[in-house]
Structure 1
Amino acid sequence: MTVEGARGDVLEEQIDQWRGFVTRRRVISAPDVEEMEDHLREQITELESGGLDSEEAFLVAVKRMGGLDAVSREFAREHSHRLWKQLVLVPDAEEETGGSRWRELGVTLLFALGAGLAVKLLEVTVDDGMVVTRNLPFVILPFLAGWFAWKRRAPWRVGAVTAALAAVPALAVNLYPFQESPGPFPLPGMTAVLALTHAPVLLWLLVGVLHTGGRWRSHERRMDFVRFTGELVMYLVLIALGSMVLVGLTVAVLGLADVDITPFFAAWLLPVGVPGSVLVAAWLVEAKKSVVENITPVLAKVFTPLALLMLVADLAALLVNGPLARVDRELLIVMDAVLVLVLFLLLYSISARDPLLRPGVFDWLQLALVGTALAVNAVALTAMLTRIAEFGFTANKTAALGLNLVLLVHLAWSAWLLLGFVRGTRPFAAVERWQTTYLPVYAVWVAVVVLVFPPLFVFA
């Protein structure tokens, strides 16, 4: 690596750490952070052109952004080994102008309308319901990716490469000669099911590249995407519940007047409204970030002990269900789903935690959750290997085995880092960084399932 490249990496790491600190200040909205970072980079470029090296330019640029506030001084006392942390400014709160807010909302609604109409067009032009279902992610998520590319001002090269990568699984699920089960009601084979369920995950991780504005190597940007994913799910659930109530009341009232809106509901509201709600929920996450940040730590603390109790019950069910070779396949599938849910809870809890706080009871509870998940994973892996030794490899068994191995590595190292944190031998930043470092492994695995498994198992 050249000296200039090494300096560039150091500068990016400094900016990432600065961004991570500023992002955790709840008085600063996400758009403000983006604007501050753009301004910081402009200042650095100007100072470097004046003869300063990258580190000097970074320090001066941060200093120019203002003086210290109480939060910055507290942060500097805890991390006094880095000079720039003593210079961070949390500026006076300035709300976005009304014009800017309405402009962003207008663009969001255009993307939402585009997603809804694209789904409706797919539904009208394609008669095969299975073809429509497997292409829904490839129709909806590009609009979300485009919205992020516009909002984050992602370089066009990043957008082009991301689109090219997304085209690969889209072509695979549509062109692979998947086999169907024989009979009067043919069903898709297992490799088709695996491809259809894993392709949206791969596409979602590619959307994350544009969520980072092209800076996908940044750990802070990846953790932002983890937070966004959890918060998006929350808003989608709230929108769905509210829509169900609203539609139910509307149907009831109009039914009394002998007006049936069911055809309109099935023909337009579902195919257009549901995809559009994804864009609206994404806008709400970005616009109302401070509101969600007050809720997420509470949700994490509520669901972590409940998830721990669930895992203990699941572990007992696995151990008392007789010889591991006779454990039901359905039970193993449910265990995988539970482990994935625990992983999401772990990621979301870590993303919602203030890394400057000392270890507490909740951190020990998280360690217990991860340890129990490891035990469940070990028992499930033993059962899978026993079944494979007795009945041989199949596509679904191999996929489940691979997923459990990927989860095993993630959870095992997370447990080790959490243990070091609660014992005071490691900073929480090490736990947080591991989560974002490991995310590309999941992208590689789902890509293997979508692209390699079908031909490997003869598309059966």
Structure 2
Amino acid sequence: MAAVEHLDLDEQIARWRAHAERRQAIGTDVDELEDHLRGLVEELEASGLSPDEAFLVAVRRMGALDDVSREFAREHAERLWKQLVVMQDDGPPGRGRRGLGLVLALAVGAGLAVKIPSLFDADGDTLALFYLPNLSLLVFPFLAAWFAWSRSMPARRVWVQLVLPFAVAALAANLFPLTQDSASLVLMTIHLPIALWFVVGLAYTGGVWRSSARRMDFIRFTGEWFVYYVLIALGGAALVGLTGLGFTAIGVDPFPVLGAWVVPCGAAGAVLVAAWLVEAKQNVIENIAPVLTRVFTPLTTIALLVFLVTVAVARPGVDVERELLILGDLMLVLVLGLILYALSARSPDTPPGLFDRLQLLLVALALVVDALMLVAMAGRIAEFGASPNKVAALGLNIVLLVNLARAGWLGLGFVRGRRPFGAVERWQTDYLPVIAVWVTLVALVLPPVFGWA
């Protein structure tokens, strides 16, 4: 691989300045732009980027402010893309070859941890009953350990904020008398991984969970991690398929081995590899997940509108079937995700625009859907009585209703110029602990309350 061209920072800025001075449109603004560029470079270097990376990323960010930097960034984009594939050892822990070596070792550990329980002599039903509540417990501790190492997390915080929650979750998952046909098993299978993902978030923030900025960083990381994981999964599925077809063509059936070892071990290891990719390439390319919100926000708005019209026409009143309630809740969760990732990609200094108004419409429609779900769920509880599933769904709708209502109110104030964008962002980051507490209660408290039914 050809080496990336490394120039002295002053020489790189001199090239940029010469390019800018050739443009008559900016004239005497070059000094001010250069000061701004140097300030961005210093901030990026402080975050862990090398001088070369910091300069290239700063120029691209400047491109959002003026045409001169945008043109310069386009002309020098090749160097930025070369930076993406160069492994460096002089960055913070976790980003260089040393960090990659550790994360690969942990990925192998996660893959083996997922596979080891199946090696014991147990029937399929027993294994399923073990894996459903325990799968995240076999993988997430490895990811949390890597973050704790890369953040140099103090030992006391590791024990209190990481080891203790994972230990409690492991005891609950294995000591609760869950059965295959119980609603409690379903609730724990769905909610325990989400609760443990917040524990991973504690490791990601280095234990500094009170910081609103670090919480927003974790939101960005979650979106980027999801995108990378899906891409790795798609590539892995294609590779497994091609490998299987190749061996089949020569009379060997590899699918039992691929299905029993490669797929589960690869899926577990990819959790850590995707996280490393996000960390290694952060601040070098624009966030992917928030950009996708620009595409899916209008589509989700249309979907919610069609959903409401369909319910009004086909199911007047509050007679909503269970499947429709589940669909409505999934759409509300999607709306919350879109809001979070759109906030993570937005510059606080940008004035409100069309996309902000579209998001406000999306929140308004989501509130209507949420209210409909609440009324329908309350009716089902009054008619058929309470159950773990119904209480969990009712609580989810209440949690989302509070979040969306406040988000809509703050968003309206921002669009009308009466509130700063920071108020909208802080509300969402401050609300994350509420979501974490709720999913933990559903996973660990509702099962015993309802007798593990």
TM bin, normalised by shorter chain, reads 0.7 to 0.9
Among residues 115, 119, 122, which one is paired with 1:124 in the alignment?
119
Q: Structure 1 residues 34, 171: closer, same or farther in 2, change over 3 A?
A: farther
Q: Structure 1 residues 294, 233: closer, same or farther in 2, change over 3 A?
A: closer
1:384 equivalent in structure 2: 377
* 1:323 to partner: Cα distance: 4.8
Contact 1:384–1:397 (CA<8 Å) still a contact in 2? Answer: yes
1:452 equivalent in structure 2: 445
2:25 equivalent in structure 1: none
Looking at structure 2, the residues matched to 332 and 108 of structure 1 have their Cα atoms a distance apart, in angstroms, of: 40
* 1:452 to partner: Cα distance: 1.6
Contact 1:377–1:408 (CA<8 Å) still a contact in 2? Answer: yes
| 1:402-436 deviation line (CA, Å, top 9, x unaligned) | 00000000000000111111111111111111111
Q: Structure 1 residues 70, 280: closer, same or farther in 2, change over 3 A?
A: closer
* 1:71 to partner: Cα distance: 8.2
Looking at structure 1, the residues matched to 260 and 448 of structure 2 have their Cα atoms a distance apart, in angstroms, of: 37
* 1:102 to partner: Cα distance: 1.1
Among residues 387, 412, 417, which one is paired with 1:424 in the alignment?
417
Contact 1:148–1:210 (CA<8 Å) still a contact in 2? Answer: yes
| 1:43-98 deviation line (CA, Å, top 9, x unaligned) | xxxxxxxxxxxxxxxxxxxxxxxxx99989x99xxxxxxxxxxxxxxxxx9x9744
1:171 equivalent in structure 2: 171
Looking at structure 2, the residues matched to 149 and 255 of structure 1 have their Cα atoms a distance apart, in angstroms, of: 44
| 1:321-341 deviation line (CA, Å, top 9, x unaligned) | 335453111110111111111
* 1:25 to partner: Cα distance: 6.0
1:345 equivalent in structure 2: 338
If the length of structure 2 is used for normalisation, what is the TM-score? 0.78
| 1:376-413 deviation line (CA, Å, top 9, x unaligned) | 10111111112222222111111100000000000000
Q: Structure 1 residues 126, 104: closer, same or farther in 2, change over 3 A?
A: farther
* 1:299 to partner: Cα distance: 1.2
* 1:206 to partner: Cα distance: 0.8
1:299-314 pair list within 5 angstroms: 299-314=292-307
2:149 equivalent in structure 1: 150
Among residues 185, 189, 196, which one is paired with 1:196 in the alignment?
189
Q: Structure 1 residues 323, 388: closer, same or farther in 2, change over 3 A?
A: farther
1:431-450 pair list within 5 angstroms: 431-450=424-443
SS in 2 for 1:459: coil
Report the AA paired with residue 112 of structure 2.
L
Q: 2:28 matched to 1:33?
A: no
Q: Structure 1 residues 284, 96: closer, same or farther in 2, change over 3 A?
A: closer
* 1:197 to partner: Cα distance: 1.1
Contact 1:123–1:132 (CA<8 Å) still a contact in 2? Answer: no
Q: 2:227 matched to 1:234?
A: yes
1:133 equivalent in structure 2: 132
Looking at structure 1, the residues matched to 121 and 330 of structure 2 have their Cα atoms a distance apart, in angstroms, of: 32
| 1:243-277 deviation line (CA, Å, top 9, x unaligned) | 12222222222222223221220222022111000
Q: Structure 1 residues 246, 142: closer, same or farther in 2, change over 3 A?
A: same
Looking at structure 2, the residues matched to 201 and 158 of structure 1 have their Cα atoms a distance apart, in angstroms, of: 21
Contact 1:27–1:290 (CA<8 Å) still a contact in 2? Answer: no
Contact 1:126–1:132 (CA<8 Å) still a contact in 2? Answer: no
Report the AA paired with residue 125 of structure 1.
F
> Over aligned residues, Cα RMSD in angstroms?
2.9
Q: 2:204 matched to 1:205?
A: no
Report the AA paired with residue 163 of structure 1.
V
Q: Structure 1 residues 163, 265: closer, same or farther in 2, change over 3 A?
A: same
Report the AA paired with residue 195 of structure 2.
L
1:44 equivalent in structure 2: none
Q: Structure 1 residues 309, 262: closer, same or farther in 2, change over 3 A?
A: same
Contact 1:194–1:396 (CA<8 Å) still a contact in 2? Answer: yes
Looking at structure 2, the residues matched to 357 and 126 of structure 1 have their Cα atoms a distance apart, in angstroms, of: 60
Contact 2:133–2:185 (CA<8 Å) still a contact in 1? Answer: no
Contact 1:251–1:260 (CA<8 Å) still a contact in 2? Answer: yes
1:400 equivalent in structure 2: 393
Worse-matched range after superposition: 202-211 or 294-303: 294-303
| 1:288-331 deviation line (CA, Å, top 9, x unaligned) | 22455254443111110001011111212332333545311111
Report the AA paired with residue 402 of structure 2.
V
Report the AA paired with residue 157 of structure 1.
R
If the length of structure 1 is used for normalisation, what is the TM-score? 0.77
Looking at structure 2, the residues matched to 116 and 71 of structure 1 have their Cα atoms a distance apart, in angstroms, of: 39
Contact 1:324–1:386 (CA<8 Å) still a contact in 2? Answer: no
Looking at structure 1, the residues matched to 61 and 320 of structure 2 have their Cα atoms a distance apart, in angstroms, of: 54
Q: 2:99 matched to 1:110?
A: no
Counting matched residue pairs gives 382
Report the AA paired with residue 327 of structure 2.
V
Which ranges of structure 2 fall in alignment gaps of 5 or more residues? 1-35, 51-57, 66-82
Q: Structure 1 residues 344, 297: closer, same or farther in 2, change over 3 A?
A: closer
Which ranges of structure 1 fall in alignment gaps of 5 or more residues? 1-20, 37-67, 76-92, 181-186
Report the AA paired with residue 159 of structure 1.
V
| 1:319-376 deviation line (CA, Å, top 9, x unaligned) | 2333545311111011111111111111111111111111110000111111110111
Q: Structure 1 residues 134, 297: closer, same or farther in 2, change over 3 A?
A: closer
* 1:32 to partner: Cα distance: 5.2
Among residues 412, 416, 433, which one is paired with 2:405 in the alignment?
412
2:356 equivalent in structure 1: 363
Identity of aligned residues (%): 51
Report the AA paired with residue 47 of structure 2.
V
1:51 equivalent in structure 2: none
Q: 2:286 matched to 1:289?
A: no
Q: Structure 1 residues 437, 264: closer, same or farther in 2, change over 3 A?
A: same
Looking at structure 2, the residues matched to 306 and 393 of structure 1 have their Cα atoms a distance apart, in angstroms, of: 35
1:32-51 pair list within 5 angstroms: 33=47
